[in-house]
Structure 1
Amino acid sequence: MNRPHRPCYRRTVEASGVQTVARALSVLDCFRGGEERGVSEVARRQGLAVSTTHRLLAALVQAGFLEKDSESSRYRMGGALAEYGQIAYRQHRIYLAEPFLEQLANTTGASASVATRHGIHAVLLGTSRWRETDGHELQGVRLPLHASALGKALLAWSTVTDDELHTLPYEEGTERSVSGPAELREELTATRERGHAYNDEELDPGFRTIGLPLIDPEGRCRFALGLRGPTTLMIPERVPFFVELAKVTAAEIAAKFATPGNISVRE
Structure 2
Amino acid sequence: MEEEKRTIRAVERALDVMLCFTTGSDWGLTEIAQRVGLHKSTVHRMLATLEQKGFVFRDEATEKYRLGLRILELSAHARASDPAVVLLGEMERLRDQLGETVSLYVRDRNDRVRIQAVQSEQAVRRVAPVGARLPLTVGASSKVLLAFGDAGERDALLAEVSWPAPKDRDAYLEQLQEIAALGYATSFEEREAGAAAISAPIFDRSGKLYAALSVSGPSNRLTADIMRERAPAVMEAARRMGMLLGGTGV
- The TM tier, using the shorter chain, reads 0.7 to 0.9
Matched, 1:103 2:93: yes
Matching of residue 36 in structure 1 with residue 29 in structure 2? no
Aligned to 1:7: none
State the TM-score, normalized to the length of structure 2.
Answer: 0.80
Match among 3, 6, 11 for residue 13 of structure 1: 3
- Uncovered stretches (5+) of structure 2, i.e. residues with no partner: none
Distance change (3 Å), C-alpha of 1:206 and 1:247: same
Q: Which moved more, 1:205-214 or 1:78-87?
A: 78-87
1:159 maps to what in 2? 150
CA RMSD of aligned residues (A): 3.2
- Which residue among 89, 92, 105 is the counterpart of 2:82? 92
Q: CA deviation at 1:250?
A: 0.9
* TM-score of the aligned structures, taking structure 1 as reference length: 0.75
Q: Which residue type is aligned with residue 41 of structure 1? A: E
2:230 to 242, 247, 253: 242
Shift of 1:194: 3.7
Q: Aligned in 2, Cα 1:203/1:90: closer, same or farther, shift over 3 Å?
A: farther
- 1:205 offset after TM fit, Å? 4.1
Structure 2 residue aligned with 1:62, among 27, 52, 66? 52
For residues 212 and 178 of structure 1, what CA distance do their matches in structure 2 show? 25
In 2, are the aligned partners of 1:147 and 1:178 still within 8 Å (CA)? no
Could you tell me whether the CA contact under 8 Å between 1:110 and 1:227 is conserved in 2?
Answer: yes
CA 111–136 in structure 1, closer or farther in 2 if over 3 Å, else same: closer
Alignment-mate amino acid for residue 189 of structure 1? Q
Contact 1:34 1:76 in 2 (8 A): no
In the alignment, residue 80 of structure 2 is paired with which amino acid? Answer: R
Query: Residue in 1 aligned with 2:138?
Result: 147
How far apart, CA to CA, are the structure 2 residues paired with 1:21 and 1:183?
43
- The structure 2 residue matched to 1:80, chosen from 70, 92, 101, is 70
Post-superposition shift, 1:130? 5.8
Matches within 5 A, 1:246-265: 246-258=234-246
Query: Match of 1:50, as an amino acid?
Result: K
The 3 A distance-change label for structure 1 pair 153 and 74 is same
Structure 1 residue 46 displacement after superposition:
2.0
Deviates more, 1:221-230 or 1:188-197: 188-197
Matched to 1:75, the amino acid is Y
The residue type equivalent to 2:51 in the other structure is: V
